[in-house]
A and B are shown apart, each in its own frame.
Chain A
Amino acid sequence: MRSPRKANGNSANSHAEGAATSALLRLGRYLTRTEGSADLHSVHLTGGREGDAFYRDRWSHDKVVPSTHGVNCTGSCRWNVYVSDGIITWESQDPDYPSVGPDKPEYEPRGCPRGASFSWYSYSPTRVRFPYARGVLVEMYREALRQHGDPVVAWASVMDDPMKRLSYQRARGKGGLVRVSWDEAAEIAAAAHVHAISRYGPDRVAGFSPIPAMSMVSHAIGSRFMALIGAPMLSFYDWYADLPVASPQVFGDQTDVPESADWWDAAYLMMWGSNVPVTRTPDAHWMAEARYRGQKVVVVSPDYADNTKFADEWLAPHPGTDAALAMAMGHVILTEFFAERQVPFFTDYVRRFTDLPFLVTLTERDGAYVPSKFLTAADLGDTEAAEPAWKTVLVDERTGEPVVPNGSVGFRWNEHDQGRWNLDLGDVVPRLSLLDDPGHRAVEVLLPRFDVDGVLRRGVPAVEAGGRLVTTVLDLLMAQYGVRRGDLPGRWPSGYDDPAEPCTPAWQQEITSVPAERVARIAREFAETAEASRGRCMILMGAGTNHWFHSDTIYRSFLALLTMTGCQGRNGGGWAHYVGQEKVRPLTGHATLAGAMDWVRPARQMIGTAYWYLHTDQWRYDALRNDELTSPLAPGALAGTSAADTLAQSARLGWMPSFPTFDRNPLDLVDEAEEAGIDPAHHVTAKLREGTLGFAAEDPDEPRNWPRVLTVWRSNLLGSSAKGHEYFLRHLLGTDANLRGEEAPPEARPRSVKWQDTAPVGKLDLLLAIDYRMTSTTLFADLVLPAATWYEKHDLSSTDMHPFIHSFNAAVDPPWQTRTDFEAFHTIAKRFSELSERHLGVRKDLVATPMTHDTPGETAQPGGVVRDWRDGDVEPIPGVTMPRLTVVERDYPAVAAKLATLGPLLEKLGATSKGITYDVGEELNWLRAKNGVATTGAAQGHALIDTDIKAADAVLALSGTTNGRLATQGFRELERRVGTELAHLSAEHEGKRISFADTRSRPAPVITSPEWSGSESGGRRYSAFVINVEHGKPWHTLTGRQHFFLDHDWMHELGEALPVYRPPLGAHHLSGEPGNGAEVTVRYLTPHSKWSIHSTYQDNLHMLTLSRGGQGIWMSPSDAEAIGAKDNDWIEAVNRNGVVVARAIVSHRMPAGTVFLYHAQDRAVNVPRSETTGKRGGTHNSLTRLLVKPTHLIGGYAQLSFGFNYLGPTGNQRDEVTVIRRRSQEVRY
């Protein structure tokens, strides 16, 4: 009999003391075994259930709590968290998801190794358990407080002493953190905020916290605090370079993509720069499984990436040349499916859903023509109609006459055209090509090329309309892709095998190295499958192709393939952009809370890339002139400018936001105006005109214009996303950096931005970080507040990879002195409000905001023509030719009370998203009843959102996706504009409301809502633009259709009016870096890691064990051989921006000439000092630097208008090269 009580917990010692004896005893047993018992059933035992109580005990637990991970990842996976003896022990996936249907695989079990290792953090030695402050700073502050007695005065006295500032700023990132109490930490934070607002203005404070979808309440609470005090929130999607700028350009949409279950519906799947098993781990099974129903899989990747294992075909173009490959595929499809034969499925689609039939004017140039602008109703002399300059024109094939079809943006915002903002063509048959017009004449157009110097000269058919020579977008497209038709003049490719003329398969082979024949075959297969499956071809695209300087052109070349084959707006078809595309499904509710839209509008929202580019002084090192980017056919608007010039211009024209905005405190500006009895907006406009008021962006290094207080939460800004990391350290923080670059020479400096002789070092007064672990950000922060983890709080999670909302739940309460983000901000806000009583009081603030997408403001600047008031082209008119100016009240002592309640503006103005306003009166009643109301103070009578669960319920109640009443109401509103029936899409759920409790018990499927473009109605899988294609609702673009052609002045400047191939930048550096001895210059890429989600998990012991324990640079055997490095040797990567010390990982899966340093391994773990500088080696971003593309700054023009995280310059980082050396193998830490 086996004893039931024989756990081995106490047996270690007995073994040790009795080993020898025991051995002898056991020997007897060994010897008496039956001889010849090779058949081991003699050792079959029964009763094993108690044989190993140890494991049974280990499996026991007190409770299991569902939660998820708030990391910047699109997983939104549901996990069970196990608690034993009050301690979090481990986690495993909860497989209980609502079914996708009987004929499809299911979502269970979602997760990945990173998420599986999360509980390690709970009690790990890197856990931040208490509040910490920089010792040098806190000592000076305490001394000053003793002296002055008032926290704000004390803080100011330290800030005003240059030596004191220097001493703590130089100490940043060098250890020396000391424990402080929550009270003291909150007081310092509050004092710093009050001081900065009072002295410099609220727009000198900022908050950074990305990816609300992955813990909406934790994000919203801090963002709401910032909005209430008037501080800008910094964008992240564009800053991360995850925003595919092509999406606003082509679709007028931030990003909308299919859920992963819809991959199953695809008949043809291309993965292009998206390594699904690594970056979409929980979704990858759909890719594997869909093959079993005959889906063909093509992988395009420069290395043998993990997903290549699943590919039927693997194309390996040189990094960054993907657009050449896609343009060649487009050439084949246009040749074989549009020119040689017509496919009704394709032509019908592009007629109805794209701008291909629309007319474009041609302007004479050098004996030929260049494409110019869309022809509009205004050009036709239509003076009757509303907004004729915003109504585009096509030719009706039946009559040959130009007509103005419904659906362009000119029909969207005016009352007169209610019910006509739709894609209903009536009897009109749009003419795709003017070749079909017997009266056409053939003219030559000039088109830019960037692969080599030169200009293309190709013929298009043209006719006169409205007194102008016009052609169609399709005709231009055929010319651009080099598809010859009839006897059109110009120089054309002689065939697919012509390597000299864009865009043939042979031409791309020269650029990408991919065999021409394979490209032609795959393009043909793709289009044939699209035809046979009616649009079920899908391209998954990701960071590999989206993180380049010219990614918008790369993506447009992909989108063209999908759009010309009728694949967008289909289940199983279309683009699937998978990098950083988090989806806050309860959009309206989150945006309302995060922007404090219930209390004050508008909120300050800033484009992150521009903010960091200016305030970390990367602009001073940027010698790239826009002339190097412009088209050989550029009219010259950008000639001689630099990126900083274009930023300044974009700010003053009201295109993009710019914070800090003016070179004065906006609170003071209002005081000044009111004192003088002038309307503040008039006051500011007048001062701008006379030049006595400037924009901060025109003099970013002037101390008045520095950012002063920055709060980072739910983020490791410095160790993860900070492109130009070393510039951050030197200029923003004022501490040591491995920066090796030189400032731009005088001739390459901006013209309109003031150059201070000395670059400032140390701009920030305070860097405040809230985190649960130690990162590069907390190491450099002045205050570190200990955060609760995702297993210690309540919150909401959603993603676009699956259609569910689910919740974070506290398995245990926050341990030690940790607090949830929600509680941390309430703590700070309370102290801030107290200190404000004396130092701020109630003030008025002048908020300057750009013209915004999905508002009438997007039709402010017709024609996409640049008219600069500073140049005297136009008058400065707020909201038309310059930013909108709004005066708002800031009741600073009431900030804490407002933070915890839903304010009165919701009742008055409703809640708005994407141009639709919802009446939320019923929801507010429900929230008052459920959450209770504030009984005293500034927010008396308002519904409480003073706990994380109450705030979560408010988010859910105020959104269509989670509240069927609002979804249906929104569709009814949309019906009035569009004129077709839509409300049936959500009517099935009109009475359904998802509460927080519902999300806890099981992931809750969302409701189809006008907040998004796809449909889940009837249980179908979500795919983007289904509502547009199936119900004729326009895209939010100029024409209301998907755009191939973009006619803004700056698009022409850059030569990107049409899809085009642009080579990656920096190729010239490949031989340009100086060096000696054994070193190699290589292309430097930072793809997403298998062992971390950005920098989270990279420090996790499990992930470090399964990888190689620290930073590693993957390189090809030939590159390793060139520098004499073997696998696991220490190497250094060096360029002008900084230094990285890492181990070499040598593998034949890497192509020669390219190395990978996986993204965000951070320097907090196992990074020695570098040989090059003697200082600690850097992060992956120590080798990168920001470059701003002018076309990303366009605004005020239909879909090319600002929206937060919708449009803005990307913080791209792929176009970089570095030198690699083998270093001494002795390392010092």
Chain B
Amino acid sequence: MRVLAQLAMVMNLDKCIGCHTCSVTCKQAWTNRAGTEYAWFNNVETRPGQGYPRRYEDQERWKGGWERTSKGRLRLRAGGRLSKLGKLFANPDLPEISDYYEPWTYDYTTLIEAPLGDDVPTAAPRSAITGEPTQPTWGPNWDDDLGGSTEHGVKDPIAEKLREELGIRIKFEFEQSFMFYLPRICEHCLNPSCVASCPSGAMYKREEDGIVLVDQDQCRGWRMCVTGCPYKKVYFNHKTGKAEKCTFCYPRVEAGQPTVCSETCVGRLRYIGVLLYDADKVTEAASVADEHDLYPAQLDLLLDPRDPAVIRAAEAAGVPHDWLTAARRSPVYRLIHDYRLALPLHPEYRTMPMVWYIPPLSPVVDAVSGSGHDGEHRDNLFGAIDALRIPVEYLAELFTAGDTAPVRRSLRRLAAMRSYMRAVNLGQETDEDIPASVGVTGEQIFAMHRLLALAKYDERYVIPTAGVGQAHDLEAIATRCSLDVDGGPGMGGGESTVDLVSWADGGRPDALFPTLRGQDR
């Protein structure tokens, strides 16, 4: 057992209002610059819909993620080593800018500077890449709120799959309307195919928190990571020629702050916490034969942070005390493991994603009560889950490689919580059969309610800071002026090359930032 700790995220889609605040705050903080205009580390998709870049889930086309060979081993779907080598300079599996969208801007200055003419000035659109006049024909969120559904929504790869493989036809008709939103960031996978795809070794997964990053110095712009990532969450900066991606806001989480997308989520649906897992078993788990077993296999990878054996092993592996404490308080672990509410996104890609989702429940009762039954009654409520506007099969294709049982369990537990709490709300006696029927206790319902409904800030985000566990590194600092450490700015002259007035190129004095865990850099 090799215990590693990872920061993971759960998003409760049942609460997502599709406002895109997360996308905008992320964009403003990270990618509103030349070269990344088209890149949204965080985006929100309306489902059914094509997503961004369009139809990214069509791995037949894009060759992202892993596939299992007949011998039971994993290989990159984009091809083995030699085939990749052959394609180094012409990667056919790369989305083009039109698959994302060609970013545009406007002749805004016309509004102020237009000379006297014969009509009202207007700012006409221009390509942000070429500067030429253009017309927007696709965007990062073109099919928002089912826009263009009858032309575009029908091309949703999941809708296609349901139609072609399962004969389930999603109706794009007024009376049958349904939608939900899917916010997406990098999955910071345990078995990241982007990292494996990189010919330069520029991508890496941080040992201390599992964040997957692109080393901007090492990156040589091959873009194999773009192909390799089945979620299409690595982007090519066309100005710098480097790959860029969601950083899980490491400058923030290192300081114990939630990611920008989380903290600014006005739906209060994101959770961040620590998960412990057995690093030695990742490959094995990602290689199980039956795709339906991938979700349970990933669940099994997760280690119980309350188990003394796990704690001992983790301590031995150098996981700091505060990380272990955080793991025990982890909201993410509870939602994934204890309540079985959260599910992974597309486990069939075999990357072992670490951003999980609680499926959307609603609307639930109208299908049942439409027939004259009491939609609020527990029995009907559970029955209704199979009559959901959002087909359970659709959700299962997203979260469990098509296995509807885990989705149904999650939805039934949410429904049970509503039903049970209604009695509490109205001051009536609770019906203990309700939690029992979905395999939880009344206390657990209250605990779920606390986490999902009250969702207090310090329970949504349990994030240990990065350096505190390494107090021994700081011992030297603590006994002297903190600036006087070796090479520190307070040393003055000597061997320090630190220019206090202007740190060059975004560099920082070494001594101000001791390494984690005391290892050599």
Contacts of A1106 in B (CB 8 A): 20, 23-24, 139-141, 144
Say yes or no: A288-B14 contact (C-beta < 8 A), given A49-B516, A103-B454, A314-B366: yes
Q: Report whether B104 and A1109 are in contact in the complex, using a CB–CB cutoff of 8 Å.
A: yes
Q: CA–CA, A1098 to B257, complex, Å?
A: 31
Contacts of B457 in A (CB 8 A): 95, 106, 108
Q: Contact string, A103-125, partner B, CB cutoff 8 A, digits 1/0? A: 11110111111011101100011
Q: CA–CA, A517 to B370, complex, Å?
A: 9
Q: Report whether B213 and A284 are in contact in the complex, using a CB–CB cutoff of 8 Å.
A: no
> Of B173, B264, B363, B420, which contacts A310 at CB under 8 A?
B363
Chain B residue with minimal CB distance to A91? Answer: B28
Chain B residue with minimal CB distance to A101? Answer: B454
Q: Within residues 49 to 107 of chain B, which ones have a CB less than 8 A from any CB in chain A? A: 66, 73-75, 85, 88, 103-106
Q: CA–CA, A713 to B222, complex, Å?
A: 52
Q: CA–CA, A93 to B266, complex, Å?
A: 9
Q: CA–CA, A89 to B27, complex, Å?
A: 12
B359 to chain A, nearest CB (A): 13
Q: CA–CA, A281 to B114, complex, Å?
A: 36
Q: CA–CA, A49 to B204, complex, Å?
A: 12
Q: Is A409 an interface residue (CB 8 A)?
A: no
Q: Report whether B147 and A1145 are in contact in the complex, using a CB–CB cutoff of 8 Å.
A: yes
B432 to chain A, nearest CB (A): 15
Q: Within residues 38 to 95 of chain A, which ones have a CB less than 8 A from any CB in chain B? A: 38-41, 43-59, 89-93, 95
Q: Report whether B119 and A1169 are in contact in the complex, using a CB–CB cutoff of 8 Å.
A: yes
Q: Report whether B263 and A9 are in contact in the complex, using a CB–CB cutoff of 8 Å.
A: no
Contacts of A295 in B (CB 8 A): 422, 425
Q: Is B405 an interface residue (CB 8 A)?
A: no
Q: Is B203 an interface residue (CB 8 A)?
A: yes
Q: Is A304 an interface residue (CB 8 A)?
A: yes
Contacts of B265 in A (CB 8 A): 109
Q: Contact string, B115-145, partner A, CB cutoff 8 A, digits 1/0? A: 1111111111100000000001101111011
Q: Report whether B364 and A1127 are in contact in the complex, using a CB–CB cutoff of 8 Å.
A: no
A1051 to chain B, nearest CB (A): 38
Q: CA–CA, A115 to B24, complex, Å?
A: 9
Q: Report whether B117 and A175 are in contact in the complex, using a CB–CB cutoff of 8 Å.
A: yes
A316 to chain B, nearest CB (A): 8
Q: Report whether A1166 and B125 are in contact in the complex, using a CB–CB cutoff of 8 Å.
A: yes
Q: Report whether B449 and A48 are in contact in the complex, using a CB–CB cutoff of 8 Å.
A: no
Interface size bracket, B side: 35 or more
Q: Report whether A12 and B241 are in contact in the complex, using a CB–CB cutoff of 8 Å.
A: yes
Say yes or no: A46-B208 contact (C-beta < 8 A), given A113-B19, A176-B116, A292-B417: yes
Q: Within residues 257 to 282 of chain B, which ones have a CB less than 8 A from any CB in chain A? A: 260, 263-269, 279, 282
Contacts of B263 in A (CB 8 A): 92-93, 95, 109
Q: Is A1114 an interface residue (CB 8 A)?
A: yes
Q: Report whether B466 and A1229 are in contact in the complex, using a CB–CB cutoff of 8 Å.
A: no
Q: Within residues 314 to 354 of chain B, which ones have a CB less than 8 A from any CB in chain A? A: none
Q: Within residues 9 to 28 of chain B, which ones have a CB less than 8 A from any CB in chain A? A: 14-15, 17-21, 23-25, 27-28
Q: Report whether B204 and A90 are in contact in the complex, using a CB–CB cutoff of 8 Å.
A: no
Q: Report whether A126 and B108 are in contact in the complex, using a CB–CB cutoff of 8 Å.
A: yes
Say yes or no: A293-B363 contact (C-beta < 8 A), given A12-B239, A40-B191, A47-B515: no
Q: Is A452 an interface residue (CB 8 A)?
A: no
B82 to chain A, nearest CB (A): 10
Q: Contact string, A303-325, partner B, CB cutoff 8 A, digits 1/0? A: 01010111111101000000000
Q: Is A676 an interface residue (CB 8 A)?
A: no
Q: Report whether A774 and B111 are in contact in the complex, using a CB–CB cutoff of 8 Å.
A: yes
Contacts of A297 in B (CB 8 A): 362
A572 to chain B, nearest CB (A): 9
> Of B23, B222, B240, which contacts A113 at CB under 8 A?
B23
Q: Is A277 an interface residue (CB 8 A)?
A: yes
Q: Is B491 an interface residue (CB 8 A)?
A: no
Q: Report whether B28 and A119 are in contact in the complex, using a CB–CB cutoff of 8 Å.
A: yes
B313 to chain A, nearest CB (A): 16
Chain A residue with minimal CB distance to B512? Answer: A4
> Of B14, B119, B365, B421, which contacts A174 at CB under 8 A?
B119
Contacts of B365 in A (CB 8 A): 312-313
Q: Is B453 an interface residue (CB 8 A)?
A: yes
Q: Report whether B148 and A1128 are in contact in the complex, using a CB–CB cutoff of 8 Å.
A: yes
Q: CA–CA, A870 to B521, complex, Å?
A: 94
Q: Report whether B109 and A288 are in contact in the complex, using a CB–CB cutoff of 8 Å.
A: no
Q: Is A128 an interface residue (CB 8 A)?
A: yes
For the residues of B in contact with A, the DSSP-based class is: loop
Q: Is B201 an interface residue (CB 8 A)?
A: yes
Contacts of A1152 in B (CB 8 A): 174
Q: Report whether B196 and A38 are in contact in the complex, using a CB–CB cutoff of 8 Å.
A: yes
Q: Which of A90, A106, A177, A309 has the most CB of B within 10 A?
A: A309
Contacts of B73 in A (CB 8 A): 36, 38
Q: Report whether A1164 and B111 are in contact in the complex, using a CB–CB cutoff of 8 Å.
A: yes
Contacts of B196 in A (CB 8 A): 37-38, 40, 43
Contacts of A110 in B (CB 8 A): 266
Say yes or no: A52-B146 contact (C-beta < 8 A), given A15-B220, A304-B174, A1127-B152: no
Q: CA–CA, A15 to B200, complex, Å?
A: 13
Q: Report whether A1166 and B122 are in contact in the complex, using a CB–CB cutoff of 8 Å.
A: yes
Q: Is B252 an interface residue (CB 8 A)?
A: yes
> Of B145, B240, B420, B508, which contacts A50 at CB under 8 A?
B508
Q: CA–CA, A277 to B21, complex, Å?
A: 12
A1102 to chain B, nearest CB (A): 6
Contacts of A57 in B (CB 8 A): 506
Say yes or no: A5-B125 contact (C-beta < 8 A), given A51-B215, A59-B252, A285-B17: no
Contacts of B441 in A (CB 8 A): none
Q: Is A1069 an interface residue (CB 8 A)?
A: no
Chain B residue with minimal CB distance to A48? Answer: B206
Q: Is A1101 an interface residue (CB 8 A)?
A: yes
Q: Report whether A289 and B119 are in contact in the complex, using a CB–CB cutoff of 8 Å.
A: no
Q: Is A1176 an interface residue (CB 8 A)?
A: yes
> Of A125, A281, A1229, which contacts B17 at CB under 8 A?
A281
Q: Which of B211, B423, B425, B457 has the most CB of A within 10 A?
A: B425
Q: Is B408 an interface residue (CB 8 A)?
A: no
Q: CA–CA, A106 to B453, complex, Å?
A: 10
Q: Report whether B122 and A1176 are in contact in the complex, using a CB–CB cutoff of 8 Å.
A: yes
Q: Is A533 an interface residue (CB 8 A)?
A: yes
Q: CA–CA, A39 to B191, complex, Å?
A: 7
Chain B residue with minimal CB distance to A134? Answer: B116
Contacts of B425 in A (CB 8 A): 267, 293-295, 533
B396 to chain A, nearest CB (A): 19
Q: Which of B28, B360, B376 has the most CB of A within 10 A?
A: B28
Say yes or no: A55-B247 contact (C-beta < 8 A), given A26-B200, A1175-B119: yes
Q: CA–CA, A799 to B452, complex, Å?
A: 27
Chain B residue with minimal CB distance to A45? Answer: B204
> Of A39, A282, A294, which contacts B266 at CB under 8 A?
A282
> Of B27, B112, B141, B239, which contacts A128 at CB under 8 A?
B112
Q: Report whether A304 and B141 are in contact in the complex, using a CB–CB cutoff of 8 Å.
A: no
Chain A residue with minimal CB distance to B370? Answer: A518
Q: Is A414 an interface residue (CB 8 A)?
A: no
Q: Report whether B266 and A1164 are in contact in the complex, using a CB–CB cutoff of 8 Å.
A: no
B314 to chain A, nearest CB (A): 16
Q: Within residues 429 to 464 of chain B, which ones have a CB less than 8 A from any CB in chain A? A: 449, 452-457
A821 to chain B, nearest CB (A): 20
**5 further A-B pairs in the complex, CB-CB below 8 A; given A5-B507, A43-B196, A126-B111:** A26-B220, A49-B516, A52-B216, A292-B414, A304-B178
Between A and B, 15 residue pairs with Cβ closer than 8 Å are A12-B241, A52-B247, A103-B454, A124-B108, A281-B21, A289-B15, A289-B452, A294-B426, A309-B362, A314-B363, A529-B426, A774-B111, A1099-B106, A1109-B136, A1149-B179
Q: Which 7 A-B pairs have the closest CB atoms?
A: A294-B422, A176-B116, A175-B114, A5-B507, A7-B506, A8-B216, A277-B17
